[in-house]
Chain A
Amino acid sequence: MKMLRQALIILGICLLAEVIQQIFSLTIPANVIGMILLLLFLLSGIVKVEMVEDSARFLLKHLAFFFVPAGVSLMNNFEMLKGNWLRIFAVVIISTIIVQVVTGCSVQYINLRRGK
């Protein structure tokens, strides 16, 4: 019963987000609109955190698993990627390291400065 009610709230927000996205023809994905909606509902007290907490914990705990099919879909692109694999890997890895350092350093630097 409790799980069903939690599912109702979360899926209801997903649905509402899709409706909003279509009505206003937004480029922001419905998932992200849903996340903003849930945050607003929580902040305004319309939804209490206990009303979604168990489901949220379950979904976030298994987040990595939900990416498996997206990863498997790579098999549809093997032809297009032939001969480019290594270069794509190199670009993505180096760029990802750059992003991690730039983001991490700037957040930490600003926090230190503001903390003083």
Chain B
Amino acid sequence: MFDSPYFGLVISILFFELGIIINKKTKIAILNPLLISIIAIIGVLQFFDIDFETYNQGGSLISFLLGPATVVLAVPLYKQIKLVKKNFVSILFGILLGSSSAVISTWYLSSWFGLSEEIRLSLVPKSVTTPIGIEISDSIGGIPSITIVGIVIAGILGAVIGPYVLKLFKIDDPIAVGISFGTSSHGMGTTKAIELGETEGAMSGIAIGIAGLISVMIIPIILKFIT
């Protein structure tokens, strides 16, 4: 029964839908569908002693769609191209400063918290979208699977706390909001930004790509200075 791609597909959709219902009923932001489904699925797999590879026969079909989904982020970007051109300077500088602050803060915080150098390096690309983050982690001596942990936490929690953080600091310009979500929380942050509005979503989408490209370039340079 478990050894079929249908198993991974069914259990993923089932728990995600359940997560949506729980999220709607409780209206608690931290109980978001992604978090609920991940925890529930890991629970089920461990309870029935099913390994990840068995689940991933179906799971990989879902992950596969991340590729095309990243590509079509060009569509909202295209629709907002005038806005992007008009705000090119602020968008570029915002992402550059944001991505730099991600690297520097992650490095020093994890040093203060006494994490090993291996884990520190693995967490450095945590704000970047998964495919780029893994590449960076590998090239600077991190462990890609730990990088995924960091990326998932930054994505889920960033999407959950983002609206409160931005409100607290009075950041309400839709462009600033979108760029902030995409730079700090990649695709998962973008799902939140899309909920907030079309401009927010589009800006967040372009920030994923630009932040990824900028991070590839600046991380080795910044690490040279601070390590």
Contacts and interface: CB of A to CB of B under 8 A. Distances in A.
Are A and B associated in one complex? yes
Interface of A: 10-11, 13-14, 17, 27-32, 34-39, 42-43, 49, 52-53, 55-56, 59-77, 80-81, 84, 87-108, 110-112, 114
Contact of B68 (A11, A67, A97): A11
Contacts, number: 308
A5 to B, nearest CB: 14
B175 interface: yes
B102 to A, nearest CB: 5
B226 to A, nearest CB: 14
Contacts of B169: 101, 104-105
A66 B109 CA distance: 30
B130 interface: yes
B123 to A, nearest CB: 6
A96 B78 CA distance: 28
> What DSSP secondary structure best describes chain B's contact surface?
helix
> What DSSP secondary structure best describes chain A's contact surface?
helix
* Most chain B beta carbons < 10 A, residue from A39, A70, A96, A110: A96
A28 B216 contact: yes
A60 B176 contact: no
Contacts of A99: 98-99, 101-102, 105, 127, 180, 183-184
* Most chain B beta carbons < 10 A, residue from A28, A42, A61, A104: A104
B141 interface: no
A97 B132 CA distance: 21
